[in-house]
Structure 1
Amino acid sequence: MDQEKTPDQPQFRLPDPALVTRTMSEVAERGQRIVTDFLRRQAESEATPDPLNIGSAFLEMTTRLMANPARLVQAQLGFWQDYLTLWQNTARRMLGEAPAPVIAEDPRDRRFKDDAWRENEVFDFIKQSYLLSARFFQTVVGGVEGLDQKTAQKVDFYTRQFVDAMSPSNFLLTNPEVLRRTAETGGENLLKGLSHLLADLERGKGRLRIRMSDDSKFKVGENIAVTPGKVVFQNDLMQLIQYNPTTETVLMRPLLILPPWINKFYILDLRPRNSFIRWAVDQGHTVFVVSWVNPDETLAQKGFDDYMKEGIYDALDAIEKATGERQVNAIGYCLGGTLLATTLAHMAARRDTRIRSATYFVTMTDFEEAGELGVFIDEEQLHCLEEAMQKRGYLEGREMATTFNMLRANDLIWSFVVNNYLLGQEPFPFDLLYWNDDSTRMPARMHSFYLRRMYQQNDLVKPGAIELLGQKIDLRRIKVPSYLISTREDHIAPWKSTYRATQIFSGPVRFVLAASGHIAGVVNPPGSGKYSHWVNEQLPPDPEEWFAGATELAGSWWPDWHRWVAALNREQVPARMPGSGRLPAIEDAPGSYVKVMAID
């Protein structure tokens, strides 16, 4: 008599033989091509065996660790004591008891969201074993004495990369959700996952380039970056977009937005419902946005000074021709904000007052504590990077994207490994992740200057240490009203570092801290109902003191910014249509520059 299956039991079935045959045939053909191409590229490469300079950091850590064996033994004893308790608790659970866990996962950790990680004794044991091991590794390396700050930061970062990679959720036999899907599909999920893996290797030309979103569902200018407007000016480095008004009158001062050229501008114009650009237009701003070029080897010698001259200064001249208005409000996002501050200091030296207010989205001007990006910036790594850039003329977009993804490896790497390769599922169409994968290159001269003079030497904050376009840069000369928005969980521009600008600028400053991270905390429209923000009229030197005295307010910070900038000059003028001034329209927004993809 056949045993009846309960609803909770997976339905086991064999895979489709035709699918197996077809998949394995594709694996053989595509795999051989990928390996051959990869080996050819490796033979042509002169890369160093340790371009990230990890080996020396861990060698120093190990040497110092061995110099104090008592600390290591103490950590091992604590680890084994916890492990023994876990064994005992697991045995008690199998006997029907419910002991408290030895170690619990963070409730926000989505790796262990499946109920089996808690309800099944075996998977609960696997999970807790992993968490205990992870804690042990991080405690040991974090407790090593005598390391300089940079080495300690690098050891900690790459230890976490290793720990994240070893999570049981990343492996077939230790992930209950994957095992369940494998049983239900007869292994077809793994065959599909293998096909996805090969496709991603082909996409990366032998290097794994994980597909995070269904790219076929998005097209720039059709369903993202669709706020109506016109390109009214362009040069080698940028196109200037002016957006169509939606109000009968507008604020007299136009608004110039300077996005980072590390990524494309349409993070501020993904969809109508979350577009900062569209929202600003609806508030009565005449919005101009710089759309940076995606540079190739012909722009290798473009420097930070060129981005200042051909970016901000050319944009200001163009806006005056388009609107007849000489003065503007300006916004800079991340690197665009660093450029804005640098240019304002340059303008102060020249007594140029065309920018009347400055807003900085998650912008660093003092790079002394640059967060985890500092892991990638030391002399050895910069030397390797500069050698590669000199050969190509630019930094490949993929390399920058990989760096940023490593800062949030569980969310931006391993979750897709599980979804795409182990579960065999197609990535979900997500506009933000499509944008994240639409990478941009960086000109060699500019990027080398940026990393060395700002990240490595922190020269921007030193009065007169940097000279651009014939003027020494002193940020203390910035006297225009400044609005700083930072985000509490920012891995790229830590908020306590961005806060330092409040003690540098000489003019009135408003600092606002938003919840969430570098992107989600900024792109947080009022209608979303997400993420609070903190305000405090006082600006003490210590950011922790600022936060202790801050008031948390529900919802988006956007209305607070608009009230601030509108109060600086409330004068209204009739709405301005792109192309109606002295600058004729060149093409429809979002323009052609943004559509150039970096195919490395």
Structure 2
Amino acid sequence: MPTPPEASEPPEPELPQAQPPAAQRLAQNIERIEQLGHRLLAAFAERAMPNPNIEAPGPDLYRSAAEGFLRTLTEQPSRMIEMQVSYWGETLSNYARAQQALAQGQWSPGEDDGPADRRFSNPLWQSHPYFNLIKRQYQTNARALKDAAAGLELSDEVARKRIAWLTNQVVDMMAPTNFLATNPDALERAIETEGESLVKGLENLVRDIEQNGGEMIVSLADRRAFAVGENIGTTPGRVVHRSRLFELIQYSPMTETVHETPLIVFPPWINKFYILDLKPKNSMIRWLVEQGHSLFVVSWKNPGAEFAEIGLEDYVQAYLEAMDVVRDLTGQPKLNAVGYCIAGTTLSLVLALLAQKGDDRVNSATLFTTLTDFSEHGEFVNFLQNDIVDGIEQEVRNHGLMRAGLMSRTMSFLRANDLVWGPAIRSYMMGETPPAFDLLFWNGDSTNLPGRMAIQYLRGLCQRNEFAGDGFTLLGHTLRLSDIQLPICAIACEADHIAPWRDCWRGFARMGSKDKTFLLSESGHVAGIVNPPSRKKYGHYTGQGGFDHGQDAWRESASYHEGSWWPRWGEWLAERSGGQVDARHPDEGLEPAPGSFVHERAS
């Protein structure tokens, strides 16, 4: 019998080699990218057919630019050649300087002689020859494009402004910080996180496109950080009336007595009312209640397509209805009224209408950042020409609305670096979560505009400037600024790019009132208004020069005061609010503030 071979020690089983953590992360990221890619394609597929008439100016502007170029080339050929040679020379200088440094292995960046620009705050833009060359060449290109646009021989000043605006948009869009390969901050973050930042950035991109129906609209704030009625918009009150267009909120008193004359605030229906009631420390609504006012605030309906035929006359009727409710609830024949932005424009129409009808229900009125004279279009000049407004009319015919996304995009591109490119870089290339910033959260909670109302506003008020001219016809009356006769106060903001203070002043000066007070706040359209006394951040100006010698004369004679304008306006308002009566508490009403309409998001 054969002897079996000697048993040997069984071999140790081979253990699977542990995958390096970096490789694991890479594999996981590749899988996530593939999944995100499928979601991205699906999200883009949801995008509605674009309307080319609102994507870019019409052919007339491009024809004007081409004709201006040919005219300049024909009439001033030496100037064109000089500009081109200068551009070539500066470009070659930038390249030669970087090439010499790379060849010699030495780099002496010297002083940064470019304009101050926080996009280039990373030290590598100055210390690294590659990034320094990119920055300098971008600045060279930007100057060349702007100089070329400014030098065109154009007979139309509107075309000049539009071409300048479009040139600036191209310059901002082509900034090297907007591209991964030429953004040192994004590259450093990608290396530090082994690519995780780019994957998170793609997740943010997909999320934004999914949330906006296939449109790429960058989120400015973390939507999960705020809930209206829970940590913003929390001032106690009750919805005491609801109609098709608005809810009326009466706020609970915080003083034992209140002013006899109630106060109603009309916020703009382009955004939600809680801009005036963010966190308690910067809530104007809370502050007004603390000052002893019986306060009512309108919360507008976020309209759908069924509101397509709602016009400015319907909003005017809503103002009158809200005023009637306030007078009934308080037993007072008169009230004080506030209008913010477009709601201030409409309040001005209401005041003119009441004056013509002999109705004195409004004791005094206050206008926040309100335009009533549209003879100058400011930064909106590009959007208020026939080619774009024709496109908006087509949009209204298609959808019944001027949709919130279009309005948000328009406003954002007025400050593209702050509201488009900068947030996109942080979200999509750096992989950062949008900040938990209440004001930016509100900014992203936009509303639709009823189609008929939007066109009335754009054509009759903005383009034809009828209210400041021959008259704006509404409800059988031809309304003019000169009709307004009651005590009135206006607050404008020095850095406002939506309602420039000079334009606000010009319309205000044309009103017929003898009792007129104009306050000029520092900062912009929102921060200049939401400027509580506790912050002591922005000051304001009061003028004694009257309204007969123009905006600049008023400004030169104005006195500067540190801190918020709220207390000064509060004194003005108190003088016109009567004596003290027992505090008025809202009854059970329909539901607690902030109501239901404020939670409706634009689709």
Deviation at 1:569, TM superposition (A): 4.1
TM-score of the pair, normalised by structure 1 = 0.91
Could you tell me which residue of structure 2 aligns to residue 5 of structure 1?
Answer: none
State the alpha-carbon separation in 1 of the partners of residues 327 and 591 from structure 2: 19
Deviation at 1:74, TM superposition (A): 2.8
Is 1:489 matched up with 2:489?
no
State the alpha-carbon separation in 2 of the partners of residues 188 and 522 from structure 1: 40
Is 1:544 matched up with 2:552?
yes
State the alpha-carbon separation in 2 of the partners of residues 593 and 220 from structure 1: 11
Deviation at 1:67, TM superposition (A): 1.7
Could you tell me which residue of structure 2 aligns to residue 72 of structure 1?
Answer: 80
Q: Secondary structure at the match of 1:308?
A: helix
State the alpha-carbon separation in 2 of the partners of residues 18 and 145 from structure 1: 58
Alignment equivalent of 2:566, drawn from 530, 552, 558 = 558
Is 1:284 matched up with 2:292?
yes
Could you tell me which residue of structure 2 aligns to residue 9 of structure 1?
Answer: none
Is 1:206 matched up with 2:214?
yes
Q: Secondary structure at the match of 1:141?
A: helix
Deviation at 1:96, TM superposition (A): 6.1
State the alpha-carbon separation in 2 of the partners of residues 14 and 162 from structure 1: 40
Could you tell me which residue of structure 2 aligns to residue 17 of structure 1?
Answer: 26
Could you tell me which residue of structure 2 aligns to residue 431 of structure 1?
Answer: 438
In the alignment of these two chains, the number of paired residues is 574
Could you tell me which residue of structure 2 aligns to residue 295 of structure 1?
Answer: 303
Structure 2, unpaired ranges of 5+: 1-20
Q: Secondary structure at the match of 1:239?
A: strand
Deviation at 1:438, TM superposition (A): 0.8
State the alpha-carbon separation in 2 of the partners of residues 513 and 112 from structure 1: 33
Could you tell me which residue of structure 1 aligns to residue 8 of structure 2?
Answer: none
State the alpha-carbon separation in 1 of the partners of residues 107 and 45 from structure 2: 55
Would you say the 8 A contact 1:86–1:102 is kept in 2? no
Would you say the 8 A contact 1:462–1:474 is kept in 2? yes
After alignment, is 142-151 or 295-304 more displaced?
Answer: 142-151
State the alpha-carbon separation in 1 of the partners of residues 367 and 553 from structure 2: 21
Q: Secondary structure at the match of 2:534?
A: helix
The residue identity in structure 1 corresponding to 2:362 is: I
Q: Secondary structure at the match of 1:126?
A: helix
Q: Deviations over 1:121-144 (max 9, x none)?
A: 432332232122212211211222
Could you tell me which residue of structure 1 aligns to residue 60 of structure 2?
Answer: 56
Could you tell me which residue of structure 1 aligns to residue 7 of structure 2?
Answer: none
Deviation at 1:147, TM superposition (A): 3.9
The residue identity in structure 2 corresponding to 1:564 is: W
State the alpha-carbon separation in 2 of the partners of residues 49 and 488 from structure 1: 33
State the alpha-carbon separation in 1 of the partners of residues 28 and 284 from structure 2: 46
Deviation at 1:92, TM superposition (A): 7.7
Are residues 194 and 265 of structure 1, via their aligned partners in 2, closer, same or farther at CA, if it must alter by over 3 Å?
same
Would you say the 8 A contact 2:71–2:153 is kept in 1? no
Alignment equivalent of 1:350, drawn from 346, 354, 357 = 357
Deviation at 1:515, TM superposition (A): 1.4
Deviation at 1:336, TM superposition (A): 0.5
Is 1:26 matched up with 2:32?
no
Are residues 529 and 126 of structure 1, via their aligned partners in 2, closer, same or farther at CA, if it must alter by over 3 Å?
farther
Percent sequence identity is: 37
Is 1:588 matched up with 2:592?
yes
Are residues 73 and 292 of structure 1, via their aligned partners in 2, closer, same or farther at CA, if it must alter by over 3 Å?
same
Are residues 489 and 14 of structure 1, via their aligned partners in 2, closer, same or farther at CA, if it must alter by over 3 Å?
farther
Is 1:250 matched up with 2:254?
no
Deviation at 1:50, TM superposition (A): 6.5
Could you tell me which residue of structure 2 aligns to residue 101 of structure 1?
Answer: 112
State the alpha-carbon separation in 2 of the partners of residues 398 and 388 from structure 1: 12
State the alpha-carbon separation in 2 of the partners of residues 81 and 250 from structure 1: 72
Alignment equivalent of 1:127, drawn from 125, 135, 140 = 135
State the alpha-carbon separation in 1 of the partners of residues 58 and 478 from structure 2: 36
CA RMSD in angstroms, aligned pairs only: 2.1
Could you tell me which residue of structure 2 aligns to residue 4 of structure 1?
Answer: none
Q: Deviations over 1:282-314 (max 9, x none)?
A: 11111111111111122211110110112x101
Deviation at 1:62, TM superposition (A): 2.5
Structure 1 residues 230-379: aligned runs within 5 Å: 230-310=238-318, 312-379=319-386
Structure 1, unpaired ranges of 5+: 1-11
Are residues 15 and 192 of structure 1, via their aligned partners in 2, closer, same or farther at CA, if it must alter by over 3 Å?
farther
Are residues 236 and 37 of structure 1, via their aligned partners in 2, closer, same or farther at CA, if it must alter by over 3 Å?
closer
State the alpha-carbon separation in 2 of the partners of residues 141 and 479 from structure 1: 46
The residue identity in structure 2 corresponding to 1:103 is: G
State the alpha-carbon separation in 2 of the partners of residues 50 and 479 from structure 1: 40
Could you tell me which residue of structure 1 aligns to residue 6 of structure 2?
Answer: none
Could you tell me which residue of structure 2 aligns to residue 472 of structure 1?
Answer: 478
State the alpha-carbon separation in 1 of the partners of residues 30 and 88 from structure 2: 47
Would you say the 8 A contact 1:258–1:333 is kept in 2? yes
The residue identity in structure 1 corresponding to 2:591 is: E
State the alpha-carbon separation in 2 of the partners of residues 343 and 499 from structure 1: 19
State the alpha-carbon separation in 2 of the partners of residues 19 and 590 from structure 1: 44
After alignment, is 141-150 or 334-343 more displaced?
Answer: 141-150
State the alpha-carbon separation in 1 of the partners of residues 390 and 97 from structure 2: 52
Deviation at 1:222, TM superposition (A): 0.9
State the alpha-carbon separation in 1 of the partners of residues 86 and 541 from structure 2: 40
The residue identity in structure 2 corresponding to 1:104 is: P
The residue identity in structure 1 corresponding to 2:224 is: S
Deviation at 1:577, TM superposition (A): 0.6
State the alpha-carbon separation in 1 of the partners of residues 395 and 501 from structure 2: 32
State the alpha-carbon separation in 1 of the partners of residues 126 and 567 from structure 2: 43
The residue identity in structure 2 corresponding to 1:506 is: G
Would you say the 8 A contact 1:366–1:461 is kept in 2? yes
Deviation at 1:95, TM superposition (A): 4.9
Would you say the 8 A contact 2:54–2:388 is kept in 1? no
After alignment, is 546-555 or 84-93 more displaced?
Answer: 84-93
The residue identity in structure 2 corresponding to 1:458 is: N
Could you tell me which residue of structure 2 aligns to residue 221 of structure 1?
Answer: 229
Could you tell me which residue of structure 1 aligns to residue 3 of structure 2?
Answer: none
TM-score of the pair, normalised by structure 2 = 0.91
Are residues 214 and 166 of structure 1, via their aligned partners in 2, closer, same or farther at CA, if it must alter by over 3 Å?
same
Q: Deviations over 1:550-572 (max 9, x none)?
A: 22221111111111111234511
State the alpha-carbon separation in 2 of the partners of residues 595 and 182 from structure 1: 38
Q: Deviations over 1:296-338 (max 9, x none)?
A: 122211110110112x101111011111112111111000000
State the alpha-carbon separation in 1 of the partners of residues 151 and 494 from structure 2: 26
Alignment equivalent of 2:415, drawn from 400, 408, 415 = 408
Are residues 354 and 491 of structure 1, via their aligned partners in 2, closer, same or farther at CA, if it must alter by over 3 Å?
same
Would you say the 8 A contact 1:82–1:102 is kept in 2? no
Q: Secondary structure at the match of 1:67?
A: helix
Is 1:156 matched up with 2:167?
no
The residue identity in structure 1 corresponding to 2:25 is: D
Alignment equivalent of 2:392, drawn from 385, 389, 400 = 385
The residue identity in structure 1 corresponding to 2:490 is: L
Q: Deviations over 1:511-566 (max 9, x none)?
A: 11111111111111111121121221213432122222222221111111111111
Are residues 396 and 96 of structure 1, via their aligned partners in 2, closer, same or farther at CA, if it must alter by over 3 Å?
closer
Alignment equivalent of 1:499, drawn from 502, 505, 509 = 505
